[in-house]
Amino acid sequence: MAKLTFRTDECKGCGLCVEACPKGILQLSQEVINKKGHHPAECIDEAACVGCASCATMCPDCIIKIEK
């Protein structure tokens, strides 16, 4: 199981990480709006994460950190 960390205050809500996740466990938050005025990315099932880092690779702002 991998641990995902998002710097949500820096996320611009582009959704590239959501589209890149092969497990479909990322989404843009519906409840949270960050200081930039965007809905940041979040993981809805961290236990299902395989640590492939596709999300972190696709993120143009490098806000995702993955620890195995």
3-state secondary structure 10-47: HCCCCCHHHHHCCCCCEEECCCCCCCCCCCCEEECCHH
Task: Kindly report, residue by residue over 45-54, the tens digit of the pLDDT.
Answer: 999 999 999 9
pLDDT of 68 reads: 84
Task: Kindly report, residue by residue over 17-40, the tens digit of the pLDDT.
Answer: 999 999 999 999 999 999 999 999
Delimit the domains of the chain by residue range. 3-67
Confidence of residue 1 (pLDDT cuts 50, 70, 90): confident
Reported pTM: 0.90
CATH number given to 3-67 = 3.30.70.20
Find out whether 53 and 66 touch, Cβ atoms under 8 Å. Answer: yes
- CA distances to 21, 39, 44 from 34, rounded to whole Å, are 22, 6, 18
